[in-house]
Amino acid sequence: MNHFERLKPTSIGEAVSLLSAHGEKARIVAGGTDILVQMKKRVTLPEYLISVEGIKGLDYIVHDKEDGLRIGPLTKITSIEKSSLIKSRYHALYQAAGKMATPLIRSRATIGGNLCNAAPSAETATPLIVMGAIVKIEGSDGSENVSLENFFTGPGMTVLTDRKVLIDIRIPNLPPNSGSVYLKHTRAKGHDLAAVGVAALVVMNGEIIKDVKIGLGAVAPTPIRANKAEKILKGKRPDDTVLQEAGQAAALESRPIDDLRSSAEYRRKMVAVLVKRAVGQAIQQMKG
């Protein structure tokens, strides 16, 4: 690892000023489970690490009847996994947290770090995208809200560039009669990054799918929505044929690559299988 100086701002304003002052020489660090590994591998060599862990008020899970759920960026993955509120109302996010890394890593890793690291396989990204999450970001020219769906711009890249800080994640209340699920397929049993991740949020009207959102992870340069598959499912009775058709459509929408975790061809096949399964399980989750 290269020599670097660790800076410890105590407010978001100070963190933003430090980012502006040091530009590309500086990087934010939260739990450090991604960036310190990248520094060891010399993928990134910042001269300044701006530690946001000392900034108070960025670690919270709060729910409001009107506004829905808010999660602070410094919230640990363990806290999400242990939240009974998230388990009951935002089930796919609870499942994603529980499937991430090891218990030790989850106790260090933050949700903000998972999103800002912007791996195409980032576990919390697809559940939050299907739930319509909005992230608040702060830079030297003020703060703005961005839909998480528009947050990722490429592998390891987001709209934050180098000079902005993620300061809040908001998830609206989910509609009545909805259920959500996150499924992760790994190369081998045990802990590994997702070879394919699928999140589904389904809203039912009796036996008919009123609305559905499907998120795909690790099968494109960024986490994506499977828009064509969603269209096939909307307004339909979720029988085997329709679910199969939606799975095939999602597979065609994915743009996977070959890497050490999987071939592109196998990933596509797994998208079809997992989309079908996730939608079915989300309906079951809704029924309790």
User: How far is Cα 187 from Cα 195, in angstroms, rounded to an integer?
Assistant: 6
Residue 131 Cβ vs ligand FAD, minimum distance, rounded to whole Å = 17
- Nearest-10 crossing angle of helices 264-287, 240-253: 140
Burial of 266 per CB tally in 10 Å (0-12, 13-18, 19+): middle
Cβ closer to ligand FAD: 83 or 178?
83
Residue 251 Cβ vs ligand FAD, minimum distance, rounded to whole Å = 22
- Residue span 15-44 as binding mask against ligand FAD, x where in contact by CB under 6 A, dash where not: ------------xxxxxxxxx-x-------
Cβ closer to ligand FAD: 218 or 279?
218
- DSSP lists the bridge partners of residue 35 as none
Chain Cα centroid distance, residue 71: 13
Cβ closer to ligand FAD: 13 or 235?
13
User: How far is Cα 127 from Cα 110, in angstroms, rounded to an integer?
Assistant: 16
Q: Which of 7, 26, 39, 52 binds ligand FAD (CB under 6 A)?
A: 52
User: How far is Cα 200 from Cα 212, in angstroms, rounded to an integer?
Assistant: 7
- Residue span 156-175 as binding mask against ligand FAD, x where in contact by CB under 6 A, dash where not: ----x----xx---------
Alpha helices in 41-90 (DSSP H): 77-82, 84-89
Applying the rule CB under 6 A, the residues between 222 and 281 that interact with ligand FAD are none
- Residue span 58-97 as binding mask against ligand FAD, x where in contact by CB under 6 A, dash where not: ---------------x---x--------------------
Radius of gyration over every alpha carbon of the chain, rounded to an integer in angstroms: 19
Residue 74 to residues 36, 78, 179, 207, Cα–Cα distance (Å): 17, 11, 27, 40
Residue with tokens 């980032």: 122
- Residue span 93-132 as binding mask against ligand FAD, x where in contact by CB under 6 A, dash where not: -------xx---x--xxx-xxx-xx---xxx---------
Encoded amino acid at 94, one letter: Y
Residue 201 Cβ vs ligand FAD, minimum distance, rounded to whole Å = 19
Cβ closer to ligand FAD: 105 or 146?
105
Size of the site for ligand FAD (CB under 6 A): 31
Residue 287 Cβ vs ligand FAD, minimum distance, rounded to whole Å = 29
Of 277, 282, 93, 279, the residue nearest 178 (C-alpha): 282
User: How far is Cα 46 from Cα 35, in angstroms, rounded to an integer?
Assistant: 10
Of 29, 65, 213, 3, the residue nearest 129 (C-alpha): 213
Cβ closer to ligand FAD: 12 or 257?
12
- Residue span 191-230 as binding mask against ligand FAD, x where in contact by CB under 6 A, dash where not: --x-------------------------------------
Show the tokens assigned to 69. Answer: 């759920």
Where does this chain bind ligand FAD (CB under 6 A)?
Answer: 27-35, 37, 52, 73, 77, 100-101, 105, 108-110, 112-114, 116-117, 121-123, 160, 165-166, 193
